[in-house]
Chain A
Amino acid sequence: MAPSKKASWTNAPDAEELEKRNTVGIHKETVTHNTSVDFPGHVPGEDEAFSLDRFRDGFSVDFHQNDPFHASFSLMGIDASLSNAFRRILISEIPTLAVENVFIEINTSVVQDEVLAHRLGLIPFKGGKEGLHNFLKWHKKPEPGEDAYKNSYDWNTVSLELNVKCTLNEDADPREDDPRKAYHNAHVYARDIVFTPTGAQEQYFAGDDAIAPVHPDILIAKMRPGQQIGLTMHMHKGIGADHAKFSPVATASYRLMPIIKITRPILGADAEKFQKCFPDGVIALDKVSAKEAAQKGSGYESHVGETKAVVADPMRDTVSRECLRHPEFEGKVKLGRRRDHFIFSIESSGQWDSDELFMESVKHMKLKCKKLEQQVMDMVR
């Protein structure tokens, strides 16, 4: 029999106990209490069973920043295993379009063919969202020995061209030593890549929706007069698990919310030193009020008007533990992190918006479970 069912009595942990369980302890040389214990049967008589209503009540989101290239937000009341799943999906399972095949007709530049192809593959591209997410589908790689263009259609292949030739600039001063002025096309940039739409791509990627590099100033190669690059590229959809060029994020990471607890007053010059142990804005300096000084046992007695250290914004802390190295703060401060408060930071590489990416990762996770649920049913049958 399940232990939680045996108990006819039920206990709910009090607020203090809950806070203790939700804190990862950070000490001078060790990190303690780093595993979740919110499981049925872990503490006798406590009901920790999963319930959707309880999850909904406990879960909350808070936005800090929302730009296309950087979204930052907090997820609170969720376990690390779930938020880690979202982070992993962001990095390796959301599809993007990237250069997969490069057909080099001529390359007389000093950059070797394979190096050039690799550089082209890593350039992030943007384009119309409808076309990228709904119109474009997976491409099936032809078998070895088959025609390289087999299976390539307008709905799974985007074609790009790069044709540049470096020539001498007749109008330039003969003593000119800047190659960009002395020659034409001395530098080949991502903006020199030309998108050649085929079929229905003309509707999906028209005007501002055209497939184009996110950053037009990416340097691809340098050339000298007489050198030339002429090539065609095929872009396909892929996922980060296959190659990092398909990853839709530059970084997707989370950190736990830091906790700084001043347990005994830090006053005067110590307070200023304490403030310097943390990044700017984490610790503020305040004056001890008459009311605090009047309180017996507070540690503020007869210190009215002195400077004291207070925690202003723990989120900005990097948890360097510097304050634990100084003997004057010993026993006066406790560091920790909140186990269920994840500060996410997502930087998109440009094909998706950062906030849109997180939504996509949640959707992806759900779809994964849905498919596997069907698979489990088929397995039983």
Chain B
Amino acid sequence: MPGRTTKEDTPQDAQMEDAPTSAQVGEAQVEDEIEEDQEEEVEPQRVRILPGSTDTAASFEFIDEGHTLGNALRYVIMKNPDVEFCAYSIPHPSEPKMNIRIQTYDGHAVDALKKGLADLQDVCDVVAEKFWTKREEYNAEHGIAR
């Protein structure tokens, strides 16, 4: 029936946990988007090391990621002085996959990837903080109350 409501004692995320996993692509995307408060749900593994990789030269496959993350991650990883080479590619446009290749002078490729993801988070914090400060300043200056 339309407009059904859940009983107060039923946790909302239980609805999604009970659902059987299916092979449909659309579903994987939905699960990807589930918000933080539903994190107890087991997320499928979306990152793997491709065969043929060594400690200092590895390729990683990301499922359900694209140019948005690929290029940003490539940039911060290239900023790491221990990294000799980093590039990303989307092998085929109809597969939801993104590959990243990392070769290092020193240390593990996995560590360079981890550092890249951590640096990106730091960048986001700085951008958000500065953006909000400026927005508040601009709104105060122009009498915008929202």
Bound Cα distance from A239 to B30, whole angstroms: 9
Asked if A140 and B123 make an inter-chain contact with CB atoms under 8 angstroms apart, the answer reads no
Asked if B2 and A369 make an inter-chain contact with CB atoms under 8 angstroms apart, the answer reads no
Q: Does A85 contact B (CB under 8 A)?
A: yes
Instruction: Tell me how many residues of A have a C-beta within 8 Å of chain B.
Output: 79
Q: Which residues, 202 to 233 on A, are CB-close (under 8 Å) to B? A: 232
Asked if A138 and B34 make an inter-chain contact with CB atoms under 8 angstroms apart, the answer reads yes
Chain B residues closer than 8 Å to A369, beta-carbon distance? 69, 117-118, 120-121, 124
Instruction: Tell me how many residues of B have a C-beta within 8 Å of chain A.
Output: 71
Q: Looking at the assembled complex, report how far the CB atom of A349 sits from the nearest CB atom of chain B, in whole angstroms.
A: 17
The interface bits of chain B over 109-134 (1 if a CB of A lies within 8 angstroms of the residue's CB, else 0) are 01001100111111111111011111
Interface of B is mostly: helix
Bound Cα distance from A60 to B142, whole angstroms: 20
The 7 closest A-B pairs by CB, nearest first: A199-B5, A198-B3, A50-B79, A63-B138, A366-B124, A81-B75, A40-B81
Asked if B35 and A137 make an inter-chain contact with CB atoms under 8 angstroms apart, the answer reads yes
Asked if A363 and B128 make an inter-chain contact with CB atoms under 8 angstroms apart, the answer reads yes
The interface bits of chain A over 80-114 (1 if a CB of B lies within 8 angstroms of the residue's CB, else 0) are 01101110110001010000000000000000000
Residues of A within 8 A of B (CB): 1-2, 4-5, 36, 38-41, 47-50, 52, 55-56, 59-63, 66, 68, 73, 75, 78-79, 81-82, 84-86, 88-89, 93, 95, 137-138, 140-141, 143, 149, 151-155, 157, 159, 196, 198-200, 232, 234, 239, 241-242, 353, 355, 358-359, 362-363, 365-373, 375-380
Show 5 A/B contacts (Cβ-Cβ < 8 Å), sorted by A: A84-B67, A155-B12, A157-B3, A362-B124, A365-B72
Asked if B30 and A138 make an inter-chain contact with CB atoms under 8 angstroms apart, the answer reads yes
Interface of A is mostly: mixed
Q: Looking at the assembled complex, report how far the CB atom of B20 sits from the nearest CB atom of chain A, in whole angstroms.
A: 9
Residue of A at shortest CB range from B4? A153
**A200 touches which one: B5, B45, B138, B146 (CB < 8 A)?**
B5
Chain A residues closer than 8 Å to B120, beta-carbon distance? 365-366, 369
Q: Known: A66-B142, A375-B47, A379-B45. Is A40-B128 also a contact (CB below 8 A)? A: no
Chain A residues closer than 8 Å to B62, beta-carbon distance? 372
Q: Known: A39-B78, A159-B3, A239-B33. Is A85-B130 also a contact (CB below 8 A)? A: no
Q: Known: A239-B33, A372-B46, A376-B47. Is A232-B80 also a contact (CB below 8 A)? A: no
